[in-house]
């Protein structure tokens, strides 16, 4: 009886090719049989897949036996005379071997199979399949060391390069697998293996194979004694340098030139033996004309230098430095310059690492001498062009090692200091200071910055990186952690290249910077430069930066000296008006505060707070000099250590100001203090600081009680400070920010307290009637606070009310009846927020349908008889709008329904305009509530849904409505355009479809489906509307429209071209200095016009050229400098239009 | 290729400062003009550098009288026999023609004693007819437009270089 395997084998061999359907079916059937079946039991191959998950009854040798049967079944085919049959039979065997349970084949079988495959490699036709088999076998558990050596030898006899890429890939994979698992056995082959591999690799061109081969070379260099084949290995490797590979445009393998460069570089940098061959060639490539080759050479030199070692580098030093210097002094490309500097840095580092090896005089000093001399020549004229690159060279070299730094500092700094003393020219002083900065930076790189003192991180980091540098022969070399990653750095650093360019000697903890000797001189120079108030600001900035760098050095300044730095910088904040200087001073203090907050707490904060006026009668209040001080405090307070001090100080000051009697009723100053707190909270919450939440027990109660007390004591809100609406708004925002940073349970506690206060009215016995219609004004307004808190609650916080519908009904009633605008706005916001976060969708729908829509629309559409009715109507509209917004955000169907009823109102001459402006409420972003930060339910793409929903209605409404209300649709449209993201609008402008739609538009074809063609069609109709809306008297809407035009010009030029006839006169009109055109409108119009010459075709623009140039002449004489500037640019571009 | 002397950059003038405005009628809000900004970034016809970088155009050699509408520009050719002086002057002329309102009359001169054929160049640059005729020449116009292509940078390229 024929076994399943025999039958399948026959099917397979008979099938055409090895990838036809029958062949594939047969081969997988064979595989399944081998994997899962005891010999002789027949299972339908179709169901066998299910067996994979069933516990397989495997007694030892099942798979093995099956393989045996397979080999027997294949027997005659494997030795067939016919090439194709033989190859095919080999193929199925390899396939099965690659996919069966490899741990179940015993050593004997593996031996036999390996020998079989190995011995037949000379068979050119079957070789590809045989190699696949060997690759599979090499991964078997039972594959012995002996097998490995035999296989390797056999591979070296194959002429690998005569095969196709895939086959060669298999060979490299096999070698990779052998090296991974049988390294020791292969090492015994020694030279034969190394040589054999070079033979295999010689002539390889495919990037996929090369990537693998480079990895293997690196491995071989590390693991084998390559001494006798260095040159062979080098030749097969270096012949690829420099890599000029360009991946094809749709490369599926994703191999980049960078990948290849990097792995080749690792090969070249793998052994010092390569040095004598590589150095001359690399040097030669440095003078190459191709920028990429040059860069590659420099990066390779940088990578190789530490491996090749000082001895190998010294003969080439002079030439190397010359070549690199040219790149730096005559830099054409910053990337090349950086690469050259990095290479120089590494070379110098290597030299110092070799001190103990070489008996001759200190090579670092010797090698650096000519370099230093040349740089010093260039530094003789510090303000000349070459001094900057010279400074950079010295920095790169000085940051490389302690001897180099010492040599350079001793040679250069005294001369520079003397030059500084002898010079009176501010520009020259500035240039010298710039060079001194380079030394400080170098010192920071080499000896560490302030942040890695006395903590274990630096050591740990270094250790890790040293391990990663396993290629490094010289273990004295380690990569320095890139200095102060965590801190935003305003200082100069080398842009990061593909490898870290900085090397420092490991003993740096014990070394101190040679700059220590010059500390006092530096203090003097930088200090006087900073304080020289009559000098030009670049010099002062230089002084500031110098002081800052000194403070940032590790173990350079004692804490009291940091204090001196801080005090010097303080003076700028206290006395100076130069904006740039102040900004830099703040940045610097901010960074110092990150590491050493104590001096700031001691000096900066008290002096700044003291500078704030105590009383509103202080002349400083009228002159607004406090603004700068507040700004400085605000910036610094972002740091948690300072936040905890500055905010209470501000509050203390605020108390004092509001308690001091004054005749001045202008409350801008106290409000500015509160705004500062708000800004700080804003920045901190954007950076996700965790110390905001604690304000709920400190800042918030203090402010809230202040407001409540004032409202109770002063019902009419006559207190100028606490009764003012802006004060209330700022405080509400502060409270909202703090609340947002709390978790649900803390929120709940606070909200419960607040409900007690507002709804039940138990504030120390007396009641706060914020939620009553007839409440005193100042109490009524406190509802804003209520809105801020309720609006900022998390979704899961359950409000302490008996029933949500009742609560909402009550609030809506209050909103409709309220007398005060602030109260009404606040209550409607609360309503919106509650509706938005209402989790029970069914309950929400019922409530809105039954209680809201009918009731509100009745009021909105009822005829207005008197003022009271009118007020009620606007109130109803407002409530309606906020509920709509709440629903639109969660893309609730009712929201869109309610939007439609708003659009219907546009036709009403009474309420239409207000309704159209209400679109700003619906789609605009609110700061206080219903935004992402305040945990509102916001669905993705809700703006897009809204846009698509209301656009057709607005367009058709515009067309069908009467002239006196037409513009309402335009106003709404402009609000929509202003608020939707650009991408949403662009989806409406698929440029490719233009021809068809243009045709449709031209022939007045009506298309009424909701597919994208009709959308684009709508946009075409939109254009005339938009142009018309430019004549509306609302500047902000005009700007929104103009921005839409601006965007459309680049993204849908055909649409613009079709309307150019109306657009150009409209834009020219808006560019003129006439009454309704504000500066921003004029600029926006000019910006649009300026785009046309590059975006539209000559033949479209040519008819307008003369007119545009003429009329732009008027804008050249505009009163506003910014407008003139845009006019000049615009006109210049129109002049360039030529056929 | 001809070599030009690199100008001595001692005390580089601060070009970003507006020239002193001598507007005696603050009630008549004619804004102070900054023609330096307009011309500083014009490219040299031969170098990849701007007139500011070559010190051809310098702030203190430009005067503006806003009340009567007059601008006077003096430029310094890099060498006394510079053959490009006329072209550079023409570029400045065209740039100001395009960028200043009509009410301004613009005089453009080579700085005294900095060019061999100073008078000829001056005459050519301030002759309306000859300037107009030069701009009729399509090739010349193209060269001018090329030089002016960078003019919109207004010195931003200089600060970008200083890292």
pLDDT tens string B37-70: 888 888 888 877 888 878 888 877 888 888 888 8
Residues A191 and A241 in one domain: yes
Residues A122 and A20 in one domain: yes
**pLDDT at residue A539 in the model:** 83
Task: Single out the residue in A228, A248, A271 at which a domain terminates.
Answer: A271
Q: How confident is the model at residue A596 (pLDDT cuts 50, 70, 90)?
A: confident
- Of A202-216, A488-502, A760-774, A987-1001, which gets the smallest average pLDDT? A488-502
Residues A2 and A21 in one domain: yes
**pLDDT at residue A406 in the model:** 83
Q: Is residue A997 part of a domain?
A: no
The answer, for A1098 touching chain B at a CB cutoff of 8 Å, is no
Q: How confident is the model at residue A64 (pLDDT cuts 50, 70, 90)?
A: confident
**pLDDT at residue A49 in the model:** 39
Question: Residue A358 pLDDT more than 60?
Answer: no
> pTM of the prediction?
0.67
Q: Is residue A347 part of a domain?
A: no
The answer, for A1121 touching chain B at a CB cutoff of 8 Å, is yes
Q: How confident is the model at residue A355 (pLDDT cuts 50, 70, 90)?
A: low
Q: Is residue A1131 part of a domain?
A: yes
User: Shortest Cα distance from A1120 to chain B (angstroms)?
Assistant: 8
- Of A163-177, A613-627, B4-18, which gets the smallest average pLDDT? B4-18
Distance CA A581, CA A602 (A): 22
Q: Is residue A62 part of a domain?
A: yes
Residues A100 and A125 in one domain: yes
Residues of chain A with C-beta less than 8 angstroms from the C-beta of B101: 1113-1114, 1116-1117
The answer, for A1106 touching chain B at a CB cutoff of 8 Å, is no
Residues A138 and A187 in one domain: no
The answer, for B152 touching chain A at a CB cutoff of 8 Å, is yes
pLDDT in tens, A48-58: 433 333 333 33
Residues A923 and A1060 in one domain: no
**pLDDT at residue A1000 in the model:** 42
The answer, for A1116 touching chain B at a CB cutoff of 8 Å, is yes
Q: Is residue A711 part of a domain?
A: no
Angstrom distances, CA of residue A933 to CA of A765, A784, A929, A978:
35, 18, 8, 21
**pLDDT at residue A535 in the model:** 63
Parse chain B into domains and list their residue ranges.
35-150
Mutate: best of A1116, A1118, A1126, A1134, partner B, most B CBs <10 A = A1116
Task: Single out the residue in A102, A125, A143 at which a domain terminates.
Answer: A143
Task: Single out the residue in A219, A239, A271 at which a domain terminates.
Answer: A271
Residues of chain A with C-beta less than 8 angstroms from the C-beta of B100: 1116
- Of the candidates B9, B98, B101, the beta carbon closest to that of A384 is on B9
Distance CA A506, CA A476 (A): 6
B100, A1116: Cβ pair inside 8 Å?
A: yes
**pLDDT at residue A43 in the model:** 39
Mutate: best of A337, A1114, A1135, partner B, most B CBs <10 A = A1135
**pLDDT at residue A1104 in the model:** 92
- Here the contacts of A146-150 (C-beta below 8 Å, separation 24 or greater) are A146/A185, A147/A110, A147/A111, A147/A114, A148/A178, A148/A181, A148/A182, A148/A185, A148/A186, A149/A182, A149/A185, A149/A186, A149/A188, A149/A189, A150/A114, A150/A115, A150/A118
Helix A21-36 × helix A4-14 angle, to 10°: 160
- Give yes or no for a contact between A569 and A589, defined as CB atoms under 8 angstroms apart: yes
B31, A1120: Cβ pair inside 8 Å?
A: yes
- State in Å, rounded, how far the first CA of chain A is from the last one: 87
Q: Is residue A530 part of a domain?
A: no
The count of domains in chain A is: 4
- Best mean pLDDT range from A358-362, A478-482, A980-984, B101-105: B101-105
Q: How confident is the model at residue B91 (pLDDT cuts 50, 70, 90)?
A: very high
Q: How confident is the model at residue A718 (pLDDT cuts 50, 70, 90)?
A: low
- Of A205-209, A615-619, A1016-1020, which gets the smallest average pLDDT? A1016-1020
Question: Residue A1009 pLDDT more than 50?
Answer: no
* Nearest C-alpha in A relative to B8: A384
Residues A806 and A928 in one domain: yes
A384, B98: Cβ pair inside 8 Å?
A: no
**pLDDT at residue A839 in the model:** 85
CATH superfamily membership of B35-150? Fe-S cluster assembly (FSCA) (3.30.300.130)
The answer, for B102 touching chain A at a CB cutoff of 8 Å, is yes
Angstrom distances, CA of residue A986 to CA of A395, A966, A1045, A1048, A1067:
50, 26, 12, 8, 22
- Give yes or no for a contact between A404 and A351, defined as CB atoms under 8 angstroms apart: yes
Dihedral (CA of A268, A274, A275, A280) sign: negative
Restricting to B residues 103-132, those with a Cβ less than 8 Å away from any Cβ of A are: 103
Distance CA B76, CA B88 (A): 10
**pLDDT at residue B133 in the model:** 92
Residues A170 and A117 in one domain: no
Residues A195 and A242 in one domain: yes
Residues A74 and A167 in one domain: no
Report the CATH number that the domain containing residue A1115 is assigned in CATH. 1.25.10.10
Residues A27 and A80 in one domain: yes
**pLDDT at residue A1090 in the model:** 92
Q: What mean pLDDT is predicted for residues A957-961? A: 81
- Of the candidates A384, A1117, A1132, the beta carbon closest to that of B152 is on A1132
Residues A125 and A163 in one domain: no
Question: Residue A19 pLDDT more than 80?
Answer: no
Q: How confident is the model at residue A1020 (pLDDT cuts 50, 70, 90)?
A: low
Full domain range(s) for residue A44: 1-143
**pLDDT at residue A1012 in the model:** 40
User: Which SS3 state, helix, strand or coil, does residue A772 take?
Assistant: coil
Residues of chain B with C-beta less than 8 angstroms from the C-beta of A427: 10-12
**pLDDT at residue A354 in the model:** 56
Comparing B7 with A322, the larger pLDDT belongs to A322
């Amino acid at each position: 009886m024929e076994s399943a395997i025999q039958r399948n084998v026959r099917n397979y061999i008979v099938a055409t090719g090895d990838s036809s359907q029958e062949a594939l079916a047969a081969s997988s059937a064979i595989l399944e049989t081998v994997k899962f079946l005891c010999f002789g039991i027949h299972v339908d191959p179709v169901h066998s897949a299910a067996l994979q998950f069933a516990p397989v009854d495997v007694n030892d040798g099942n798979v093995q036996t099956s393989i045996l049967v397979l080999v027997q079944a294949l027997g005659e085919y494997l030795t067939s005379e016919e090439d194709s049959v033989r190859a095919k039979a080999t193929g199925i065997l390899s396939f099965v071997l690659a996919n069966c349970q490899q741990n179940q084949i015993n050593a004997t079988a593996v031996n036999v199979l390996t020998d079989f495959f190995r011995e037949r490699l000379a068979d050119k036709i079957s070789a590809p399949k045989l190699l696949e088999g060997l690759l599979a076998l090499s991964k078997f558990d039972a594959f012995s060391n002996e097998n490995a050596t035999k296989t390797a030898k056999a591979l070296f006899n194959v002429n690998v390069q005569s095969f196709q890429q895939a086959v060669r890939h298999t060979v490299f994979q096999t070698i990779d697998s052998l090296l991974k698992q049988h390294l020791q056995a292969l090492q015994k082959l020694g030279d034969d293996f190394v040589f054999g591999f070079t033979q295999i690799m010689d002539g390889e061109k495919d990037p996929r194979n090369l990537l693998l081969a480079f990895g293997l070379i690196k491995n071989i260099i590390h693991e084998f004694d390559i001494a006798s084949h260095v040159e062979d290995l080098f030749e097969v490797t270096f012949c690829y340098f420099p890599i000029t590979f360009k991946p094809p445009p749709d490369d599926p393998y994703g191999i980049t030139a960078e990948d290849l460069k990097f792995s080749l570089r690792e090969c070249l940098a793998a052994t010092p033996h390569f040095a004598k061959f590589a150095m001359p060639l690399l040097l030669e490539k440095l003078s190459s004309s191709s920028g990429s080759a040059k860069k590659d050479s420099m990066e390779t030199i940088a990578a190789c230098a530490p491996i090749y070692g000082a001895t190998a580098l010294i003969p080439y030093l002079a030439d190397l430095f010359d070549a690199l210097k040219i790149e730096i002094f005559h830099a054409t490309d910053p990337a090349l310059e950086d690469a050259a500097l990095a290479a120089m840095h590494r070379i110098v580092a290597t030299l110092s690492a070799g001190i103990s090896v070489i008996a001759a005089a200190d090579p670092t000093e010797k090698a650096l001498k000519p370099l230093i001399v040349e740089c010093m020549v260039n530094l003789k004229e510090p303000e000349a062009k070459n001094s900057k690159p010279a400074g950079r060279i010295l920095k790169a070299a000085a940051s490389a090692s302690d001897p180099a730094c010492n040599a350079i500092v001793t040679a250069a700094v005294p001369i520079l200091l003397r030059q500084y003393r002898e010079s009176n020219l501010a520009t020259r002083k500035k240039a010298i200071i710039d060079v001194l900065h380079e030394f400080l930076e170098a010192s920071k790189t080499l000896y560490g910055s302030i942040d890695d003192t006395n903590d274990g991180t630096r050591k740990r980091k270094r250790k890790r990186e040293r391990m990663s540098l396993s290629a490094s022969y010289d273990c004295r070399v380690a990569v320095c952690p890139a200095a102060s990653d965590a801190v935003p750095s305003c200082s100069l650093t080398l842009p990061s290249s593909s490898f870290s360019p900085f090397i420092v000697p490991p003993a740096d903890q014990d070394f101190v910077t040679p700059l220590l000797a010059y500390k006092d001189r530096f203090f003097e120079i930088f200090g006087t430069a900073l304080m020289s108030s009559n000098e030009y600001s670049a010099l002062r900035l230089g002084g500031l930066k110098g002081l800052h760098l000194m403070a940032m050095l590790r173990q350079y300044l004692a804490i009291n000296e940091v204090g001196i730095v801080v005090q010097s910088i303080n003076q700028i904040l206290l006395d100076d008006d130069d904006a740039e200087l102040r900004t830099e001073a703040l940045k610097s203090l901010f960074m110092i505060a990150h590491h050493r907050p104590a001096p700031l707490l001691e000096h900066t904060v008290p002096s700044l707070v003291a500078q704030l006026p105590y009383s509103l009668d202080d002349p400083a209040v009228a002159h607004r000099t406090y603004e700068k001080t507040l700004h400085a405090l605000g910036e610094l307070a972002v740091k948690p250590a300072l936040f905890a001090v500055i905010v209470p100080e501000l509050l203390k000051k605020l108390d004092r100001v509001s308690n001091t009697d004054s005749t001045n009723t202008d409350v801008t100053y106290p409000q500015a203090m509160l705004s500062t707190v708000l800004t700080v909270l804003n920045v901190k919450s954007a950076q996700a600081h965790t110390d905001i939440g604690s304000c709920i027990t400190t800042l918030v109660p203090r402010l809230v009680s202040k407001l409540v007390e004032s409202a109770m004591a002063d019902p009419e809100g006559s207190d100028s400070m606490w009764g003012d609406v802006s004060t209330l708004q700022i405080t509400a925002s502060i409270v909202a920010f703090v609340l947002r940073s709390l978790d649900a349970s803390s929120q709940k506690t606070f909200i419960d307290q607040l409900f007690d206060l507002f709804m039940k009215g138990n504030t120390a016995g007396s009641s706060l009637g914020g939620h009553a219609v007839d409440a005193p004004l100042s109490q009524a307004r406190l509802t804003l606070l209520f809105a801020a808190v309720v609006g900022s609650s998390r979704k899961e916080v359950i409000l302490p009310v008996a029933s949500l519908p009742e609560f909402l009904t009550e609030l809506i009633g209050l909103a409709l009846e309220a007398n005060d605008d602030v109260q009404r706005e606040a209550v409607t916001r609360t309503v919106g927020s509650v509706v938005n976060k209402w989790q029970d969708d069914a309950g929400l729908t019922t409530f809105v349908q039954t209680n809201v829509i009918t009731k509100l629309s009745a009021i909105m559409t009822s005829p207005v008889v008197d003022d009271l009715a009118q007020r009620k109507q606007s109130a109803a509209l407002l409530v309606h709008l906020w509920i709509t917004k709440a629903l639109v955000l969660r893309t609730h169907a009712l929201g869109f329904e309610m939007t439609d009823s708003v659009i219907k109102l546009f036709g009403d001459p009474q309420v239409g305009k207000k309704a159209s402006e209400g679109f700003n409420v619906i789609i605009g972003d609110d700061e206080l509530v219903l935004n992402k930060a305040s945990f509102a339910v916001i669905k993705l793409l809700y703006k897009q849904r809204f846009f698509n929903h209301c656009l057709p209605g607005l367009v058709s409404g515009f067309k069908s409505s009467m002239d006196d209300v037409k513009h309402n649709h335009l106003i709404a449209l402009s609000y929509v355009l202003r608020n939707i993201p650009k991408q949403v609008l662009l989806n409406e402008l698929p440029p490719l479809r233009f021809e068809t739609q243009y045709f449709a538009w031209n022939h007045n074809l009506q298309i009424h489906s909701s597919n994208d063609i009709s959308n684009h069609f709508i946009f075409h109709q939109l254009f005339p509307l938009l142009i018309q809306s430019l004549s509306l008297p609302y500047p902000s809407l005009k700007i929104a429209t103009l921005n839409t035009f601006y965007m459309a010009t680049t993204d849908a030029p055909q649409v613009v071209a079709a309307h150019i006839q109306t657009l150009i006169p409209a834009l020219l009109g808006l560019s003129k200095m006439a009454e309704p055109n504000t500066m921003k409108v004029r600029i926006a119009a000019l910006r649009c016009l300026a785009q046309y010459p590059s975006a539209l075709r000559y033949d479209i623009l040519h008819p307008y050229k003369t007119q545009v140039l003429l009329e732009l002449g008027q804008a050249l004489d505009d009163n506003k400098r910014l407008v003139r500037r845009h006019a000049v640019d615009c006109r210049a571009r129109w002049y360039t239009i030529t056929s | 290729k001809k070599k030009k002397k690199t100008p001595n950059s001692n005390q580089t003038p601060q070009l970003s400062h507006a020239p002193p405005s001598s507007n005696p009628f603050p009630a008549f809000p004619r804004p102070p003009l900054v023609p330096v900004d307009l011309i500083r970034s014009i490219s040299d016809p031969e170098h990849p550098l701007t007139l500011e970088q070559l010190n051809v155009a310098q702030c203190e050699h430009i005067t503006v009288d806003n009340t009567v509408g007059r601008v006077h520009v003096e430029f310094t050719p890099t060498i006394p026999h510079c053959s490009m002086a006329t072209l550079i002057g023409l570029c400045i002329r065209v740039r100001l023609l395009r960028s200043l309102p009509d009410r301004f009359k613009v005089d453009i001169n080579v700085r005294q004693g900095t060019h061999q054929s100073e008078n000829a160049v001056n005459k050519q640059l301030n002759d309306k007819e000859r300037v107009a005729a030069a701009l009729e020449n399509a090739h010349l116009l193209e060269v001018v437009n090329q030089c002016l292509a960078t003019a919109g940078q207004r010195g931003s390229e200089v600060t970008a270089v200083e890292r």
